[in-house]
Amino acid sequence: MQNYKKGLLIAMVLSAMSLMAAEDKTIYVNTFDDIDDNNSSKCSLRLALKTAAANKAYGGCNVGNTIPSSADTIQLEAGTYNLNSELVPTSEVVINGKEPSDYNQKDAITNQYPALTTLQTKISGQGKVRLFNTTDAKTGLTLNNIELIQGKSNDRGGALYLGGTTTLNRVNVLNSSAASGGAIYLENGTNILNISNSLIQGNTASSGAVLDMACRDALSFNTRTINFNQNSIVENGSNTNNTVLVFCGAPTATLTANTIAKNTANTGSGSILKFNNDQTTNSLAQTSSLTLDSNTIVENTAYSTFLYDQIGTKKLILNALFGNTGKSCRFASGDVAQQTSTGLSLSYNALMLSGAKDGQCDVSNEVLKTEHNTVDVSNISFSNLLEYVAASANTNFLPVYFPKNNQTLTDLVNVGTSVCNGQSDQRGIKRITDGTLLLNPTENNSCDIGSIELVKLTAADVNALVNTSLVNLFTNSNNSGYENQRDYYKSLIDDSATDSKLLPAYNEQYQKYNDLVINTKANLKYRAIYVDPFTNSIADEDSNHKILPLNTDNYKVSVERYGIGTLSSSGSSATVTKLRDDENLLCEWNPTLKRVIISRKDDQITQSEEYNICKYTLTSKVNQSSTSSGLLFAQFKNIAPIATNDEYTIQYGSDQKLTVNLLANDSDDGDGPTSTLVNNPNKPKFYRNFEDVELPIRLTNVPSGITVTADRSGTCPGDDIANICYGGNLYIQVKNNFNPFNYQFSYVIYDAEGLKSNEATVKLINTATTTNDSRGGGGSFGILSLIGLMGLVGYRRFKR
């Protein structure tokens, strides 16, 4: 069903794209020149901003979204837009760079089409001018997939001088400079700043090489929400810069899964991340808060990497904050040891708490008395803990640090908490800590410290596996069957309206489901369960941190019978108990089908408290020592037989007795072929009584206008024992040969175990009517009935 939903979503997106094409309100920039001329036949970025503000065509730009208070979307092409002066949006805009995607390749991290590429669109200040200024109109600005380079201001905000809500997604800010806020300055009025998946590098400023802000508006603190998620902030600042990231006013700042490394500030007084109340330059409100969650903050050079005091709350969770030149954490208000209210809380961070002053973190004794679970790395070599990896497709095109797994207690890997579960690391990979490893519980994954979560091959334990109808496996009303999906993707491929760039993904999906149709039908077994062992497992990564996709090209699969057992859980832990072996349980890996097939030699269903358990093992073909095993918990149930609607013709005016075989179109195919049952290959499909007489049919809603008899009859099975069931041929006859009505009745059938089917309908179409006549079962009043009644009235009058 998951794949179907994905296919349905794609179809909906395509449909939406076709509608958007008909009413496209995007403003398309078609020149790299910085033109500001209403008479131009071209549409420059500057003219596009004026078009958006005026809600009418300007220069060579098409009119955009004219709905009041709605943002306009401006689309840029691949290339560099060199600015002669700063851009000043006066209405809310979304500016998109060329999509950084290769639809012919799979992504190195997600293993899905399309592959992420480097950014293709750049906006440059040429080292002369600031890029964007939204402080006058305080308008909202969203930038996607753009590189901002060489912005310059002699005052505030080298690249971005912001007065309104701003969102940057995959926006690199490079080599910009200003007096304050080399990359970004937040002026009064800015209330939200969101930055994600971005590289901020090479920016300089005397104050705030990356970020600076106005602290007050008149006498009031400026209240802001600031979110940095999954960014790399590297190699900013210089020894002449005082700060790199400055927070003041009353901010609520959250930094999650970022790499903050190799930045520089003045080694005598400078700070990389400044969060303290400095009455002379940066005032901070007591209501301020800073959350540092799963960041790697290392190899910075400054007097203080993180400068804080007793003002505001500071929450540090799972951060690698060490290996910096100068103190990694410095308390700005004197000796921290005896402080009783610093507003700092710690949880599972890697810090230097003792030893050399270089890289040490100042923490009060009060905080150290709490259950902070700090990994003290005071006497451990930096190179033993972290590995720097340059930007590549394997790192989401951002420079990062990977934790090393030396399997020691001071590693930053698997530190024993699950607080990160469900979050994503800097690459966008989910941190999963709630998976069970019943065979190797000591290898359960827990959180890693820092912005990167190591990927480790893990074969998941999967419970709640139950056999489903093998008929529905191929086609069903939810359109989730293999044939449904195959035909769906084939229709997309054959549709001339389908965007050609989507064809590689569609062709792969079509081939996948076509193979499943062919190979599953070739390997049908009675009540079989087909399991993809890769679906719930976690991939491995090689020595270069390339994730090895979960498929048979990268992993070997082996399967063996575990036995019959039970599964019990308590809280977050689970326990499997093996009750007995069972040679009738079959656990097989089919390399052609690429599925684990779980079945039985017999037709025994599973008791509710028990499981048929198979063990499977995944082994990396790249690293044979990387292996993991999981358990598959299966239960077998009886699948109801299938009754199909039938339609027959009755001859008007004839005493014809219809002979019908209702079972001809019915089946018990949901359970699969009985021929694969080693212990009972000739098992009957339908119900037989104790005398071995087949009596699988029970009639319902039989109208009074017809009679139905059968070759044989007897009591029905189970809870329906009070009813009569039939076997063999049924014989149907209309009581009144000249009755022109259509009839219908219903029936159900029972399989060999006495399980009842759906209710099916038998329609009897009278040749005196048409097949689409709405009259039925002697209960309708048509024109022939009216003529008959009129004749009867006339006859009676004649008799009088």
Is the same domain home to 268 and 148? no
C-beta of residue 567 within 8 angstroms of C-beta of residue 574: yes
Is the same domain home to 388 and 434? yes
pLDDT surpassing 80 at residue 18: no
Q: Nearest 5°: phi and psi at 284?
A: -125, 130
Q: Which of 536, 483, 477 is nearest to 510 (CA)?
A: 483
Residue bearing the bigger pLDDT, 445 or 345:
345
Q: Which of 46, 23, 24 is nearest to 36 (CA)?
A: 46
pLDDT surpassing 90 at residue 10: no
Predicted pLDDT at 8:
41
Share of the chain above pLDDT 90, in %: 85
Share of the chain above pLDDT 70, in %: 92
Is the same domain home to 418 and 517? no
pLDDT surpassing 50 at residue 761: yes
Tokens representing 145? 């997939």
The CA–CA distances, whole Å, from 142 to 61, 86, 146, 165, 704 equal 20, 16, 11, 8, 73
Residues whose CB falls within 8 Å of the CB of residue 236, separated by 6 or more in sequence, listed in order: 182, 183, 200, 201, 202, 203, 204, 209, 210, 244, 263, 264
Q: Which segment, 348-357, 562-571, 723-732, is predicted with the most confidence on average?
A: 723-732
Cα(361)–Cα(715) distance, integer angstroms: 84
C-beta of residue 473 within 8 angstroms of C-beta of residue 482: yes
Domain end, chosen from 606, 635, 664, is at 635
Is the same domain home to 667 and 591? no
Residues whose CB falls within 8 Å of the CB of residue 348, separated by 6 or more in sequence, listed in order: 317, 318, 372, 373, 374, 375, 415, 416, 417, 419, 447, 449
Q: Is the peptide bond before 114 cis (omega within 30 degrees of 0)?
A: yes
C-beta of residue 6 within 8 angstroms of C-beta of residue 13: no
Is the same domain home to 611 and 667? no
Is the same domain home to 176 and 306? no
Residue bearing the bigger pLDDT, 2 or 676:
676
pLDDT per residue over 197-235, tens digit each? 999 999 999 999 999 999 998 889 999 999 999 999 999
C-beta of residue 375 within 8 angstroms of C-beta of residue 447: no
Residue 750, in any domain of the structure: yes
Residue 534, in any domain of the structure: yes
Cα(669)–Cα(472) distance, integer angstroms: 10
* Number of domains, the chain: 4
pLDDT surpassing 50 at residue 727: yes
Range of the domain at 610: 464-635
Residue 10, in any domain of the structure: no
The CA–CA distances, whole Å, from 61 to 31, 41, 58, 174 equal 11, 8, 6, 29
C-beta of residue 401 within 8 angstroms of C-beta of residue 450: yes
pLDDT per residue over 420-464, tens digit each? 999 999 999 999 888 778 988 877 889 999 999 999 999 999 999
**CATH at residue 684:** 2.60.40.10
* CA 558, chain centre distance (Å): 28
Q: Nearest 5°: phi and psi at 64?
A: -100, -135
DSSP 595: E
pLDDT surpassing 80 at residue 529: yes
C-beta of residue 430 within 8 angstroms of C-beta of residue 443: no
Q: Which of 294, 297, 268, 413 is nearest to 361 (CA)?
A: 297
Predicted pLDDT at 435:
76
Residue 12, in any domain of the structure: no
Residue 228, in any domain of the structure: no
pLDDT per residue over 502-527, tens digit each? 999 999 999 999 999 999 999 999 99
Is the same domain home to 105 and 209? yes
Is the same domain home to 585 and 708? no
pLDDT per residue over 165-206, tens digit each? 999 999 999 999 999 999 999 998 888 999 999 999 999 999
Predicted pLDDT at 269:
95
Predicted pLDDT at 793:
40
Predicted pLDDT at 654:
86
pLDDT surpassing 50 at residue 784: no
Tell me the whole-structure pTM to 2 decimals: 0.89
pLDDT surpassing 90 at residue 15: no
Is the same domain home to 560 and 660? no
Residue labelled with tokens 């990389």: 272
Q: How confident is the model at residue 574 (pLDDT cuts 50, 70, 90)?
A: confident
Predicted pLDDT at 487:
98
pLDDT per residue over 75-118, tens digit each? 999 999 999 999 999 999 999 999 999 999 999 999 999 999 99
Q: Nearest 5°: phi and psi at 372?
A: -95, -20
Q: What is the mean pLDDT of residues 576-584?
A: 96
Residue 799, in any domain of the structure: no
Cα(301)–Cα(319) distance, integer angstroms: 18
Mean pLDDT of the chain, nearest integer: 92
Q: What is the mean pLDDT of residues 572-582?
A: 90
Is the same domain home to 146 and 200? yes
